[in-house]
């Protein structure tokens, strides 16, 4: 698995998504509940950025229609979204947040 640097851990604020682009793929990086997650930044229901939404209880909410996606699995918690969004493996090395674009789900 190939990992690329997404951002510095020190750049992340708790429960505040950070949008990055890795090899042309928009990714939202989220630090919450003591972990760091990487999820595709595009809502599966509407073509909008998830990183503009709010994070609560390990879920990221789409600001446009209110669908929330589990940061661990990418699965939506309810309508209008019905399809999951990809999540990506994350590892921390020092202050670097590294992400592999190989999908976990």
Q: For 10-66, how does the pLDDT look when each residue is reduced to its tens digit (9 = 90+)?
A: 999 999 999 999 999 999 999 999 999 999 999 999 889 999 999 999 999 998 888
Where in the sequence is the domain holding 14, given as residue range(s)? 1-98
**pLDDT for the residue numbered 66:** 86
Tell me whether residue 8 is in a domain: yes
Render 12-73 in DSSP notation, one character per residue. Answer: -BBTB-EEEEETTEEEEEEEETTEEEEEESB-SSSS-BGGGS-EETTEEE-TTT--EEETTT
**pLDDT for the residue numbered 104:** 52
Q: Please indicate, yes or no, whether the overall pTM of this predicted structure exceeds 0.85.
A: yes
CATH code of the domain covering residue 11? 2.102.10.10
The number of domains in the chain is 1
Tell me whether residue 103 is in a domain: no
Tell me whether residue 62 is in a domain: yes
- Token digits for 56? 């609560």
Tell me whether residue 104 is in a domain: no
Tell me whether residue 72 is in a domain: yes
């Amino acid at each position: 698995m190939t990992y690329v640097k997404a951002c510095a851990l020190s750049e992340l604020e708790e429960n505040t998504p950070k949008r990055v682009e890795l090899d042309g793929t928009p990714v939202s990086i989220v630090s919450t509940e003591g972990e760091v997650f990487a999820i595709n930044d595009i809502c599966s229901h509407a073509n909008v950025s998830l990183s503009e939404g709010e994070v609560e209880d390990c879920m990221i909410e789409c600001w446009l229609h209110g669908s929330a996606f589990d940061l661990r699995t990418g699965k939506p918690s309810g309508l209008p979204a019905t399809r999951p969004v990809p999540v990506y493996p994350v590892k921390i090395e020092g202050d670097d947040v590294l992400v592999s674009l190989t999908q976990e789900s």
